[in-house]
Amino acid sequence: MSTLGYEDELRSERAYVAGLYARLDAERARVKAKFTAALGGTGGTPMERDFEVRALAREVKRLDVADNGLCFGRLDSISGDHSYIGRIGIFDEEHDYEPVLLDWRAPASRAFYVATGAHPENVRRRRQFHTRGRQVLDFTDEVLGRPTGEVQGDAALLAAVNAPRGEGMRDIVATIQSEQDEIIRLDHPGVLVIEGGPGTGKTVVALHRVAYLMYTQRERMERHGVLVVGPNPAFLNHIGRVLPSLGESDVVFMTTGDLVPGLHVTAEDEPDVARLKGSLKMVDVLTAAIADRQRLPAQPLPITLGTATVRIDAETAQWAREEARASGLPHNEARSVFTEIITYVLTERAIARIGRGWLTRADREGWEEMRGELLKELATDEDFTAALDELWPILTPEALLAPLYSSPERLRAAGADEALLRADGAAWTVSDVPLLDELVDLLGRDKAADKAAERAVQREQKAEAEYAAHVIDQLRLDREELDEDIGLTAENLLYAEDLADRFGVQDTRDLVERASADRDWTYRHVVVDEAQELSEMDWRVLMRRCPARSFTVVGDLAQRRSAAGATSWAAMLDRYVPGRWAYRSLTVNYRTPAEIMTVAAALLAEFAPEVQPPDSVRACGVRPWSRQVSADELPAAVEEFRREEEGREGTSVVIGPPGIGDTVPGAVPASETKGLEFDAVLVVEPEQILADGPRGAAELYVALTRATQRLGVLHLDPLPRALNGLTDTGTPVQAGT
């Protein structure tokens, strides 16, 4: 294409994209007007109005994300037709809703990602736009079906991977590769495992798969939403913009420590303790710990009924306990069975003593009448309630687990390892979360507490309705004094019930807020990132959250740090979805340049020789370097790195062994950088990272593969043998020098 022809084409494309933005703005204005009207509307039932408002709110969010890079490409077919590809779909209402912009997830858009010279998919030319905001800066063309294209087809991809990193992960909607697109659009109803080494894009592929599923299965997805589970808050913050940028907002982001609403994690377990807590054997421990709280009285417990004193003896309590356990109900719910047996025995004994000489069993009416009086007495008897609490207490997960951890006797009774003993039983760790969640089901609900909470809600709703009625009455009294310009008339006054709805009787929280606060919420789909770190008990929690067993699982077994984590995917998944999980691998490294990956691959070969490192798609031209320093020289060397990076565009980080932040302010341990990426990385004391337990090599591997451009290493002790590929100069050396 000549320079003049290119400029003409560029002007034409800019005009077309400007027209798309004009349509987008008009649609935004229309939807926002409907949304505003729906907020103030009075027609229909409160539920119907709420449904309309929520639907319009979702549409407003969908339209608001498309400003940056609305249209990023064009397909020209062999027959001469062309289609534009973008973040959302836009249609021409005046011409039978013809698409003027195809959503990237639509079937017709797939060729944009998978067409090749060998398999052109009926495509003659693929055009990719380079945009900034609403402006088309330039474009590149790839002509398919020929030995060579007019322009290198990887230009857009290389521009994206070489661009400086910002504060969060970017979507790859404009540069999805064929290998990635196959996984994103895979029609698999069960669990999909995506494994890939550092930089292969497995996380962003999983997020785009979620966006695709929410587009193709909108009705199934939107009522329950999607849960994304990540390793730490920094990671979730890093990836949190991807789905909103693709128009999807009904997504809850959590770490495993957030899965029990309201729980605050304040401590960290030693690796051996985390391994114990992560084992499925803990289900038996918890079951035994509950059974240990279902006691028999050491001495008969006296209860006064009427004029008689009766006793709860061990024999009676044992009968009641056996019946309660045989009911199959969770502990708290089975208390009613236990109470029923105890009550029956006590009232029978009391009636026999009180009615001795004048009341016989043949007088069933008199017998039952007296039983009714005694039952009322028992219901308010503090000694009886105290006896029940001693023998079969109502327990919360925290009230069961905290005393278990702090008592050697209770641990022994539950068959638990003494390593679980700790001074502060309520100092919760991440490994405690799945145990507390398990206990929610093992213990069951406290029905009395649930009823009390329900009554409190009813009282609140009644008070709100009464307040609304008072407002209506006041408005009616005052309306004659109001200026007529206000337009307040008897005809447009709301009824008290409608006004009460506006004051909060209806749940106005969006899906994310409701799901995050509800332990019993179930999701339509769950994404698990860094899944190799999850324990057997973690997986039980997640399976409860998604009864349909629809998962996208992302991980790399070679990067596993947790002693309780996965050694194989089958070991974790076959128990729940035998024959219903599929495996896909990503083999191309889009993040880590070849110079850095060569160093990391040498380390990988030492601790996981069976794992093939991913192939880097590019080189950066800068060799990774190392420098040996003394402890006194370390702070100055770190500051030198930081000063150099301050003058460059992009992001940087200093990574070291656990506790590095105490000696190098601002530095982070490798475990906190999983899934993150930076333009420049300085690894401090790699020998200490390597020495930190059996999985230290995996942590060092993670640290070395976070950089997209520049990697430096500062070491105090001799450099680990696996890192001998580093240039030992102390300053970065340009390739070729």
Binding site for ATP, by residue number, is: 196-203
Give the C-alpha separation, 305 to 299, whole Å: 19
What is the C-alpha radius of gyration for the chain, rounded to an integer number of angstroms? 33
Give the C-alpha separation, 513 to 535, whole Å: 27
The helix or strand, by DSSP H or E, that contains position 127, with its residue range, turns out to be: strand 123-132
Pairing relationship of beta strands 82-86 and 71-77 according to DSSP bridges: antiparallel
Binding residues: 196-203
Give the C-alpha separation, 256 to 529, whole Å: 11
Pairing relationship of beta strands 308-312 and 301-305 according to DSSP bridges: antiparallel
**Which phi and psi angles does 117 have, rounded to 5°?**
-60, -35
Amino acid at 180: Q
Give the C-alpha separation, 593 to 150, whole Å: 26
Cβ partners under 8 Å of residue 188, min gap 6: 582
* Contact by Cβ (8 Å): 149, 117: yes
Cβ partners under 8 Å of residue 448, min gap 6: 394
* Contact by Cβ (8 Å): 3, 71: no
The helix or strand, by DSSP H or E, that contains position 15, with its residue range, turns out to be: helix 3-40
Amino acid at 282: M
* Contact by Cβ (8 Å): 443, 330: yes
Tally: H helices and E strands in the chain: 28, 24
3-class SS of residue 255: strand
Cβ neighbour number for residue 112 with a 10 Å cutoff: 24
Q: Which two tokens stand for residue 536?
A: 């057997």
Amino acid at 36: T
Cα dihedral 534, 535, 536, 537, rounded to 10, equals: -100
On the 0-12 / 13-18 / 19+ scale of CB atoms within 10 A, 523 is buried
Cβ partners under 8 Å of residue 194, min gap 6: 183, 202, 205, 206, 552, 553, 554, 555, 584, 585, 586
Give the C-alpha separation, 455 to 197, whole Å: 54
